[in-house]
Amino acid sequence: MRHLLSTKDLGRDEAIGLLDVAEDMADVATREIKKLPTLRGKTVVNLFFEDSTRTRISFEAAAKRLSADVITFSAKGSSVSKGESLKDTAQTLQAMGADAVVIRHGASGAPRTLAASGWIDAGILNAGDGTHEHPTQALLDAYTIRKRLHGRASRGRDLDGVSVTIVGDILHSRVARSNVWLLDTLGASVTLIAPPTLLPVALDGWPATIGFDLDAALRQQPDVVMMLRIQAERMHAAFFPNSREYSRRWGLDDVRMSMLSPDSIVMHPGPMNRGLEISAAAADSQQSTVREQVANGVSVRMAALYLLLSGERPSVEPAPSDTAWQAQDEMEGR
């Protein structure tokens, strides 16, 4: 893998492979020494142009568990507030020898611009760009679903036949976009439930069923209900009259919680607005995976960093033909 920009680019085998690597990474968290020497000497730069707590900390923990050096950069208090362009920032990082750049940016497509620009050689990991994608969040969600469904036998499994209902602000949600593509790739069927004002204008080609009525969707007994955060920072227009009305019609309250089957799971990417899109009882119930999602996030990001940063780099000289046998032996681990 050269970059991780979008879940749309991930094939089924590639996605399952990444989730399997994450299984191995999760084992590390249970050991006494929670560290692997794998990325020793590699530099991972966290380039955060937008606020974030859990994603930044999660990437930092993931990189440190793999022994990489982590440099965290937030736009506040940096030269970006003096007007430095993305290009100049990228070239600065290139000059410092960054091996991977984890980027969160308010503009959709900023990570792809960086990856395609030629300004920097490093692998680019999208940690959320505008209202476009947040691939590692979708991967950790898929990992969490698979783990809840199959437990220790998760390795190699896809999500065939799993029904997932995603509820809330689809319009602004990069989490929803990444999840729609990834869950479809893995074989799950996705239903999107939202107020009509919070759906994107063009949904042609989205592999999902669209609905407006949460109660009707819950009566279908979905395996997974994923509640999205109402993003106050992006509510620049009157998308719904007031938060109490939203909560009544699209919030997962205690009554709706009781409609779900006891085996179904409730997810939320965090941070939660308790009492708005999800009630406290739902958030803290046995069916809620909110805290598991955070823990799994570290494993999934370790897997992504490993797949991005190990393997052949273009600068390594190719093996001469007469040592090709030896190279093959080394590949098989001898």
Partner 1 sequence: MARIESSETPSKIVLQQADITRALTRISHEILESNRGTDNLMILGIPTRGVPLAQRIGEIITMIEPDAPAQLVGSLDVTMYRDDLGRNPTRPPSPTHVPRSIDGATVVLVDDVLYSGRTIRAALDALSDLGRPHIVRLAVLVDRGHRQLPIRADFVGKNLPSAARERVNVHLAEIDGDEYVSIESPQTGGAA
Q: Which residues bind partner 1 (CB under 8 A)?
A: 1, 17, 20-21, 23-24, 27, 31-33, 35-38, 66, 155, 306-307, 310-313, 316, 322, 325-334
| Least distance to partner 1, CB of residue 13, Å | 11
Give every CB contact of residue 259 below 8 A, 6+ residues apart in sequence: 215, 218, 219
Cα gap 56→40, rounded to integer Å: 20
Spatial CA neighbour of 293 closest among 273, 271, 269 = 269
Tokens 């590949």 appear where?
Answer: 331
Nearer to partner 1, 95 or 316 (CB): 316
| Least distance to partner 1, CB of residue 330, Å | 6
Nearer to partner 1, 66 or 103 (CB): 66
Nearer to partner 1, 88 or 329 (CB): 329
Nearer to partner 1, 36 or 259 (CB): 36
| Least distance to partner 1, CB of residue 262, Å | 30
Nearer to partner 1, 159 or 308 (CB): 308
Nearer to partner 1, 17 or 106 (CB): 17
User: For residue 282, what are its two tokens?
Assistant: 């739902």
| Least distance to partner 1, CB of residue 300, Å | 14
| Least distance to partner 1, CB of residue 297, Å | 19
Backbone angles phi, psi at 155, to 5 degrees: -50, 130
| Least distance to partner 1, CB of residue 130, Å | 30
| Least distance to partner 1, CB of residue 44, Å | 15
Give every CB contact of residue 167 below 8 A, 6+ residues apart in sequence: 192, 193, 194, 214, 217, 225, 226, 227, 228, 250, 252, 277
Sign, Cα dihedral of 240, 217, 156, 54? positive
Q: What is the DSSP string of 161-229?
A: T-EEEEES-TTT-HHHHHHHHHHHHTT-EEEEE--GGGS-S--TT-SEEEES-HHHHHHT--SEEEEPP
| Least distance to partner 1, CB of residue 325, Å | 5
| Least distance to partner 1, CB of residue 243, Å | 46
Nearer to partner 1, 76 or 334 (CB): 334
Cα gap 303→142, rounded to integer Å: 14
The number of beta carbons lying within 10 Å of the beta carbon of residue 157 is 16
Nearer to partner 1, 28 or 80 (CB): 28
Q: Buried (b) or exposed (e) across 182-214, using 16+ Cβ within 10 A?
A: bbbbbebbbbbbbbeebbeeeeeebebeeeeeb
Nearer to partner 1, 204 or 322 (CB): 322
Pairing of strands 163-167, 69-74: unpaired
